[in-house]
Each structure stands twice: as C-alpha cells, then as structure tokens.
Amino acid sequence: MAHEHSWVPQIQATDRLSAALYEAMTAWIDPAAHATVLDIGCGPGGLLPYLADAAPRTHIVGADHDDESLDAARSLVASLELGDRVLVEHGDALDPGSQPGPFDLVIARKMAHHLPDQVDGLRMLAARLSPRGRLIVGEGGLPTSCLPFELGHGRPGLMSRLEAAESARFTGMRRELEHPVTSRYGWNVVLESAGLVVEETKSFLWDVPAPVSDEARTHIRSTLQHHLTGDTRQYLNDEDAATLEWLLDAANPDGVDHRRDLFILGASTLYRCALPAS
C-alpha cells in the first residue's frame, strides 16, 4: 500500500492498548470451534496471540501482502514460541492461489475496506471457506475519539471535525485505488451481495477511560501528530490545525502531554457470515 508514512507502528500501539477489546472479540469469534483459521490482512498480527491462546488445538495462519506488517507479525509470533501452530505468510486477498484453503474460519478485520471492489474481494475470500466454514469481517463501528468537546482553545468540537477530515482522507485514498468500485450500501448488504449469509453482527467497545496511561497518551499524541502532518491535514481548516499545534506543544500545560481528560473510545463491528445452504 502506498502511504505517506508507515501505519505499522500506529497499529502496533493500538494493538498494545486493545487487550480487553481483542479478548472480547476473540471470545465471540470462538476460534476453538474451528480446526483451521486464516487471518487475512493480519497487519502486525495483533489478534494472533489472542486466537492462539483461545484455541490451542487450532492451526492458525496470519497473512498480509505488506512486508513491513509481515516482519512485525513474524517477530510477535516468534516471541510467543508457539511452534508451527501459528504461521505468518505472505498472502493476498485477491490472489486465490495464496492460502487457497479451505479454511474453517477466515477473519478479515479492517482489510476489506482497502479492496478496490469489496464485493468481488469478499467473494474471493468466501471461496477459501470449507462448506460449513465461517467468514468474520470486521468493518465499521464508531470512529475513535480521544479529546473532550471543550479544550479551552479554538472552536469546541475539534474531535468530530478530525473524524470528518479522516473520512475525507479515506474517501480520497479509495479514489486513488486502481479501478475502485464505490459501494452504495452498508457492510451487511455488501456481504450479502458477495453471496454470504450474515448470521450475527456485534460491535465491541475500545474503551480506555481518562486519565490514561503514559502509553495511551503517547498513542494519542502520535495519532494527533499524524492528523497534523499526514494526508488528513488538507481536510482541516487553519484554525483547527493551529489548535492541534497548540495541543501538541510540549510546553503547553493544557496540551496532550499534561491533560488529565484524554481518553480512547471507539467501537468495532464484526459480522459472522456463512455460505448459503446448498
């Protein structure tokens, strides 16, 4: 993927702060009910330790098409000493030859939104399922907030304007894909269009309340820094950019390094899908 900066450290920081979220999602996914699992678009592999822990007899493959993500996932898995129970491999959701399966469970979290034609891509993932297999797709939910409405500087409600700017960046990113197909519907309909039966949908909170740990504070700082210096900046007006600079000023007693009212709150939606009964 062409990004203006690497997203891998940002995703790894998210992973480290998401233990409760990943435990809850893994309990719902129930990997132990399946003999073989593919986590496609696994990124730096944050979910793999939770899957492995919950399903000691399941063979798990994490796959991604990005080398930096694969290196990070491989180091993480190596540190867990799980032997060949968890493998990390190069794989492309759009290449039916990579990890052809069949798998009893395929997980694709925050991956399908990268695909130029999501319906087609999901159909290709469904083709890797065993006849009674399940596909878990993680997409949508609620945008993640970290700032209170009133900051004491600039126009109130900066967080919702950052979310709007982030949505605009995402739309711009999709437009730059080769032959993007714009979806006209939400994910349940997209999944049905790919020939899947949506059995159950559940959303999980990412909830790190104030006051946050140093690790969460560092993550919030780097997220805001990316908004200020990355592709999102073009969708922010100068007043909001100046407020971000004020927040990121280490000498500011009301900046992110000192505030006691920072938090992390978001939600991730998971869809459990089956193949239609034949």
Ligand X SMILES: C[S@@+](CC[C@H](N)C(=O)[O-])C[C@H]1O[C@@H](n2cnc3c(N)ncnc32)[C@H](O)[C@@H]1O
Residues within the interface to ligand X (CB under 6 A) = 1, 11, 40-43, 46, 64-66, 69, 91-94, 109-111, 114
80 or 241: whose CB is closer to ligand X?
A: 80
Q: How far is the CB of 160 from ligand X (least distance, A)?
A: 22
Query: Nearest-CB residue to ligand X?
Result: 43
Q: Do the Cβ atoms of 18 and 43 come closer than 8 Å? A: no
91 or 255: whose CB is closer to ligand X?
A: 91
92 or 192: whose CB is closer to ligand X?
A: 92
Here the tokens at position 64 are 């991604």
16 or 155: whose CB is closer to ligand X?
A: 16
Residue 200 CA, chain-centre distance (Å), reads 19
Q: How far is the CB of 65 from ligand X (least distance, A)?
A: 4
Residue 239 CA, chain-centre distance (Å), reads 30
At a CB cut-off of 8 Å and minimum separation 6, what does 75 contact? none
3-state SS of 229-277 is HCHHHHHCCHHHHHHHHHHHCCCCCCCCCCCCCCCEEEEEEEEEEECCC
Q: How far is the CB of 94 from ligand X (least distance, A)?
A: 5
Burial class of residue 45 (count of CB atoms within 10 Å of its CB; 0-12, 13-18, 19+): buried
Here the tokens at position 52 are 């492995």
Q: How far is the CB of 174 from ligand X (least distance, A)?
A: 12
- Rg of the chain (C-alpha set): 19
Q: How far is the CB of 268 from ligand X (least distance, A)?
A: 8
96 or 156: whose CB is closer to ligand X?
A: 96
Q: How far is the CB of 41 from ligand X (least distance, A)?
A: 3
43 or 255: whose CB is closer to ligand X?
A: 43
